[in-house]
Structure 1
Amino acid sequence: MGVPLRRNVQFQLLWLGGAVSQLGTQLTTYAMPLLIFAVTGSYFWAGVIAGVRATALIVAQMPAGVWVDRWDRGKVLVISQTTQAAVVTAMAANVVTGANSIPLFLVLAALDGVCTAFSGPARSTAIKSVVPPEQLKTAYAQEEARGHTAWLAGPSLGALLYGLGRAVPFVADALSFLIAAICAWFAKIPARTEQRPRQRMHQDVKEAWAWLWRQRGMRNVVAIFLTLNLLGGATLIPVVATVKERGGSDWLVGLVLTGVGVGGVLGALISPRVTISHDRIVVGVLVVFGVSNLAMALPFGAWWPFAPLMVTAVATPLLNVSVSAVFTALVPDDLMGRLDAILTFAARALTPLAPVLGAFAADVVGGAAAVFAFGALILVTALVAAFSDLRTTVPHA
């Protein structure tokens, strides 16, 4: 019997650093649209900035995954998070000086996306190296709780900090990345004991893609995630626009978005106890997402989207925990960095379009109509998933 997860110091340090940095990221995720709207009078540039970050992340994802499998994963995590702290500090300086330069925000967003491309696979391989297979589901449930707690606290805290000064959320985010880097350093993630033969980068990538291609169920899950990430990502700005259209204040926008955190924490507590197969969970969660989006468009007042957002967020950890645990157990250790990068790349290939699409739809047809349309498309995706083979076979130790 291994050490209980709660006493696994390495994992808990990784978790603590991730929790702090994710909270910081939520502060700026909320503050950026408000800042750009205040400066330009449109949500469009906020969508473009988010889209540039997502594009940079996707472009860097493949080489990052290869290098994570070659280099010391612990050092990669520390360096990438330290660099992100510097990037967000520059964002704060852009605001403090009053320049509010859109081109500079675009450049810094791209740099942040590149750093995230490295920190994501490095974190996944680090977790696999310090958590035994039988504890992976519990570990990912704790990861989900971290993310949704950040959603719970982030919007309201972001609104409060933004009210104190437009640069304050960015300063807080920079500090959060610095704390995450320190935690990753003290976690002392073990280096690989075996070094695989060095080959050309395209051969490394080809090897990982070939492995994924043989996993039919995982391929189909990736296709579903590709669609869901596009439609779900496109929904955020329309939700903000819906609250504002109905007379909601900036403070109420933050309160509505905490619905994601409330539901997500509840879902993370439930997810380790759910024994339903991941293929059935995928279909069920898509249905919940679609119906919840349709419900958000109902004209029940500026506060109303809070409730459907909370329902959606309850279902999200069930999906993420189930799929992440299966994926981590299934992938060989020497492929983990590359496969994490490939799955992230494949699932997010369209996400640079998501904030731009959402912002464009909110400007053209209004927030509520955009949310309704995206919900209908998610239900179509659920129908397709119901008739697809999403099963995988996890090898037994």
Structure 2
Amino acid sequence: MSGLWRNREFNLLWTSQSLSDLGASIAQLAVPLLVLELTGSPVKAGVVGTTALLARLAARLPAGVLADRIDRRRTLLFCDLVRLLAFAALAAAIATGRAGLAVIIVVAVLDAVGNALFSTVEYASLRSIVPPVQLPAAVARNEARAYGASLAGPPLGGLLFGVAPFLPFLGNAVSYLFSLTGVALIRRPMQARRDPDPPGHAAALAEGLRFVFGNPFLRAVLAIAAPLNFALNGAVFTIIVTLQQHQVRPGVIGLTETIVGAGGLAGALAAPGLQRWFPFPRLIRSICWASAAVLIPSAWLTTSVAAAVPLALVIFIGPACNAALFGYQAAITPDHLQGRVLSVIFMSAMSASAAAPLLAGLIVTAWGSQVAIGVFAAAVAGSALIASLAAGIRDMKPIDQVSAVWPARTDR
């Protein structure tokens, strides 16, 4: 971890994206508030959110292909510039009373697509700016960044929206300006030497899929990450719905999400230490089984904010698992395939997460919250079983050995 603090390029990227994540978290809360203020319709607010989610999902796989074909620095700068202009225009439209639902949807879609492309390219670039042995620590710091923004952003977004509805969106535009500046200051190349005659887009995507499903470790990552994301999102949604049904005050429900987010931030900060103490295979197995065991008590606490405590413990140990999995993925994947491999993993995890609230609502309505939590705990146990039996996890080698397979040649 200490070496990362001396890595100029990584710190430029991390600091600028911390501000960008904060701006995005501010705007994420402000968008539904804006739609509700303009239209008074929860359905229309839901339409905006669903449209953005679908746009992000649709952009995931193409984003992976682009991340491996075009200049990554220029792509990051382009994404920031488009989103900066979009949110600045939305802020101006709100301030002048010209904002409508169509404008909000266009901005939300541009932001969703830009986020899908930016995040894929950013993660794909890590291998070029961070030494292989430090990749898990770099992923852990990125996790801490995301959890920190998720904790600070919503309260700040609500405060700014209360002062003037255009302020959260102006703040997000400024955050993209910081992001653009930070990326522009990075001097080190962000990708390896490119193939002068790359395959077509369909062939490139097929190549990425073959690599993912042909690699035992990456197959295991897909099988572990998707159920984990599904279960955690479903459990959080179950608790929120149950608290609402028992007429718990909105402020207390918000405290539940704060407790969960704080657990994730603490876990991200603790992840590098856990990685030093445990070999990756044992760490991943232990975290998965511990998550399943810790999640079960939430089934008897869903009518109280105390249900957030077991979830916070699950989230606390989650970042160490993510850091191990994605750090190892970055080390074993050649640079020219990083974007496509990441896009497949992200697509799988996001699809599972998107299905969780709907299934949670159906189970809570039909059988109650305890059954819902039990289903999600079983999904985590399934991930733990895969982590225990999969050869791709069991045969993981030290990261400094596997990373040596791929030469770190870069050019501009």
Q: Displacement of 1:251 after TM fit?
A: 3.7
How far did 1:367 drift? 9.4
> 2:98, 2:296 → 1: CA distance?
40
Secondary structure in 1 matching 2:185:
helix
Query: Given residue 304 of structure 1, which amino acid in structure 2 is its aligned partner?
Result: A
TM-score w.r.t. length of structure 1: 0.84
Corresponding residue for 2:160?
A: 161
Query: Map of 1:261-300 to 2, 5 A cutoff?
Result: 261-274=261-274, 275-299=277-301
Change (3 A) 1:298 1:89: farther
Residues 83-130 of structure 1: per-residue CA shift (max 9 Å, x gap)? 223334455567667788555544433322211221122112322111
Deviation at 1:215, TM superposition (A): 0.9
Write the letter of the residue equivalent to 2:86: V
Match of 1:85 in 2: 84
The Cα offsets for residues 230-257 of structure 1, whole Å up to 9 and x where unpaired, read as 3333444444444444444444343332
- Partner of residue 331, structure 2: 329
Change in Cα spacing, 1:321 to 1:368, as seen in structure 2 (3 Å) is: same
C-alpha spacing 1:373/1:125, structure 2 compared with 1 (3 Å): same
How many matched pairs?
Answer: 394
Matches within 5 A, 1:229-240: 229-240=229-240
Contact 1:81–1:180 (CA under 8 A) maintained in structure 2: yes
User: 1:381 — aligned with what?
Assistant: 382
Indicate the residue corresponding to 1:195 in structure 2: 194
C-alpha spacing 1:256/1:3, structure 2 compared with 1 (3 Å): closer
- Say if 1:59 and 1:353 are closer, same or farther in 2 by CA, change over 3 A: same
The match for 1:304 is 306
Alignment of 1:1-397 (within 5 A): 4-32=3-31, 42=42, 48-89=47-88, 92=91, 104-190=103-189, 192=191, 194-196=193-195, 197-274=197-274, 275-299=277-301, 303-357=305-359, 360-361=361-362, 364=365, 368=369, 372=373, 375-382=376-383, 384-385=385-386, 386-391=388-393, 392-393=396-397, 395-397=402-404
Range with greater deviation from structure 2 (175-184 or 11-20): 175-184
Equivalent-residue separation in structure 2 for 1:146 and 1:254 (angstroms): 20
Q: Conserved in 1, the CA contact under 8 Å of 2:73 and 2:190? A: yes
Match of 2:410 in 1: none
Q: Tell me the CA shift for residue 73 of structure 1.
A: 0.5
Pairwise CA distance, 1:6: 0.9
Q: Is the 8 A contact 1:291 1:375 kept in 2?
A: no
Report Cα offsets for 1:162-214 as digits up to 9, x if no partner: 44345443332332222212211122341546221322112222222222222
Residue 13 of structure 1, CA deviation: 0.8
C-alpha contact (below 8 Å) 1:152/1:258 kept by paired residues: yes
Tell me the SS of whatever aligns to 1:348.
helix
Conserved? CA contact 1:144–1:265, under 8 Å: yes
CA distance in 1 between partners of 2:234 and 2:47 (Å): 12
Which amino acid in 1 is paired with 2:72?
R
Where 1:119 maps in the other structure, the secondary structure is helix
Q: Distance in 2 between matches of 1:94 and 1:290?
A: 47
Give the direction of change, closer, same or farther, for the CA distance of 1:250–1:132 in structure 2 (3 Å limit). Answer: same
| 8 Å CA contact retained: 1:35, 1:166 | yes
Preserved CA contact (<8 Å) 2:242 2:302: no
User: 8 Å contact 1:89–1:174 — kept in the other structure?
Assistant: yes
Q: Is the 1:51–1:353 Cα contact (8 Å) retained in structure 2?
A: no
Amino acid at match of 2:256: V
Summarize the Cα distance change of 1:244–1:11 in structure 2 as closer, same or farther, 3 Å threshold. same
* 2:310 partner letter: P
Distance 2:212 2:188 in 1: 26
After superposition, the Cα gap between the structure-2 partners of 1:379 and 1:125, relative to the gap in structure 1 and judged at 3 Å, is closer
Please tell me whether the aligned partners of residues 292 and 308 of structure 1 are also in contact (alpha carbons under 8 angstroms).
yes
Q: 1:214 to 1:245 in 2, by over 3 A?
A: same
2:191–2:335 CA contact under 8 A, matched in 1: no
The amino acid of 2:326's aligned partner reads S
Q: Give the Cα separation in 2 of the matches to 1:362 and 1:37.
A: 28
Question: Relative to 1, partners in 2 of residues 1:281 and 1:108: Cα closer, same or farther, differing over 3 Å?
Answer: farther
Cα pair distance change 1:292/1:102, threshold 3 Å: farther
Paired residue secondary structure (1:109): helix
Q: 1:102 to 1:311 in 2, by over 3 A?
A: farther
- Cα distance in 2, alignment partners of residues 75 and 96 from structure 1: 31
The TM-score with structure 2 as length reference comes to 0.81
Q: Is the CA contact 1:256–1:303 (under 8 Å) kept in the aligned structure 2?
A: yes
CA contact 1:64–1:117 (8 Å) conserved in 2: yes
- Contact 2:125/2:190 (CA < 8 Å) preserved in 1? no
The alpha carbon displacement at 1:330 in A equals: 0.5
Distance 2:189 2:244 in 1: 49
Aligned-partner residue type, residue 372 of structure 1: I
**What amino acid is aligned across from residue 373 of structure 2 in structure 1?**
F
Label 1:8 to 1:329 Cα distance change in 2 as closer, same or farther (>3 A): same
- Give the superposed CA RMSD: 3.5
Distance in 1 between residues matched to 2:122 and 2:280, nearest whole Å: 23
Q: Which amino acid aligns with 2:306?
A: W
Comparing 138-147 with 237-246, which one deviates more in the overlay?
A: 237-246
Cα deviation, residue 58, structure 1: 2.6
Counterpart AA for 2:382: T
Residue pair 2:262, 2:312 contacting (<8 A) in 1 also: yes
- The 1:37–1:54 alpha-carbon spacing in structure 2 relative to 1, beyond 3 Å, is same
Counterpart CA distance in 2 for 1:163 and 1:213 is 49
What is the identity percentage for the equivalent residue pairs of Structure 1 and Structure 2? 26
5+ residue gaps, structure 1, are none
Contact 1:296 1:371 in 2 (8 A): no
